[in-house]
Amino acid sequence: MARSGAGGHYLRSTTANFDVSVLQAAYSMHCWARSTVAPNGGSLRPCVGYVGGSGGQVPQNLLLWDHSSAGFSHAAQHRRGGGTYDTAQTTTVPSTNTWYAYGVAFDSSTLKVYLNGTNETTDSSVGTSSTFASWLTALGQVNSLGALDGGAQFSNGEVAEVAVWKAALNADEFNALAKGFSPRRIRPASLVAYLPLVRDTLDLFGIALTEINSPTVTDHPRVIG
């Protein structure tokens, strides 16, 4: 079953033990996401990503459903080591009540965002990724005070099949994920975290997640094991 973020519910790793140093040169993230609210620049609604920092938590690399800044809405957000952000926004504005295969790939020089297996935008002016030790999150991220809570969360949204790789997946691999293939079948040697969000919130690879405020269990998108 997928997990819903309505009402301040979200998931995160139990500690800042998600070692993003292995993702500095290249990474990919993918999840299935849907929402009853269209991305309209109204509020910050991250689907999945990792957050962290020295002396306080800050957004690192995220897949955003919505954001109060128009250029970050339905986009991949990438934090450079120097603290600035790059984005790759989907050309398609996601509709409500529809599951989307949503992904991003970074290969040290380009940031590509994928929707339903299609590379919709490539940002070619991307800097080196930050390497803060981080929390892996789903449905929520840090708020402006640097605290991990539901202050910035994917309200009225659902995510499933969260996965992170220490490699930049290619178009064929994202297409396979969009067709319903499990992340376990996509470059398994580079898979560093897989969170199916079916029943228990224990991943098959990487780390376990903690449920905050008991996220609602909802129907899961179809996946080919």
Place of tokens 């990438």: 78
pTM: 0.89
Strand partners, 51: 59, 135
pLDDT in tens, the chain (225 residues): 466 666 666 677 766 666 677 788 899 999 999 988 888 777 778 888 877 654 445 667 889 888 888 888 999 998 887 778 899 999 999 999 999 999 999 998 999 999 999 999 999 878 888 776 667 777 765 544 444 444 566 667 888 899 999 999 999 999 999 999 999 999 999 998 888 876 666 566 777 777 777 777 777 777 776
Distance of alpha carbon 114 from alpha carbon 28, whole angstroms: 10
The two structure tokens encoding residue 91: 């050309």
Burial class (CB in 10 A: 0-12, 13-18, 19+), 67: buried
Distance CA 204, CA 210 (A): 15
Q: In the chain, what are the domains? A: 2-218 (2.60.120.200)
* pLDDT confidence of residue 150: 47
CB 111 within 8 A of CB 78: yes
Structure-token pair, residue 41: 């620049």
